[in-house]
Amino acid sequence: AWNLIGSWLHIARGDPAGLDYRDTSWLTAGVHWRRSDRSSWHAFYDRRQSVIEGRNALADCSFGYDRALSRGVTVRAALFVGLSDTAEDFGFSAGLSLAGPRR
């Protein structure tokens, strides 16, 4: 099954003494493909405004895979590719998701 995923956040920031931070927006759009009951793939585009006026927004794409090892344990991995000069050139993340018992 395919799913389209999207979100938009607006973050209102305070201004610490001597600093002028601006409110920012964060946009995420992507697709998620559940290949089976135990595995899925996803691809996302993220764009985050800089808190400092005049700095470029951070933009990147990520591609990932999730694999359920059991009912409550999932292994996750993703590769990131930066699309702007303020983003990472590339990156990799890996993690483990543990779910508690269902009630």
Residue 58 — φ and ψ, nearest 5°? Answer: -90, 130
Q: How far apart are CA 64 and CA 16, in angstroms?
A: 37
pLDDT score for 42: 97
Q: How does pLDDT run across 41-97, given as a tens digit for each residue?
A: 999 999 999 888 888 899 999 999 999 999 889 999 999 999 999 898 999 999 999
pTM of the predicted model as reported, rounded to 2 decimal places: 0.78
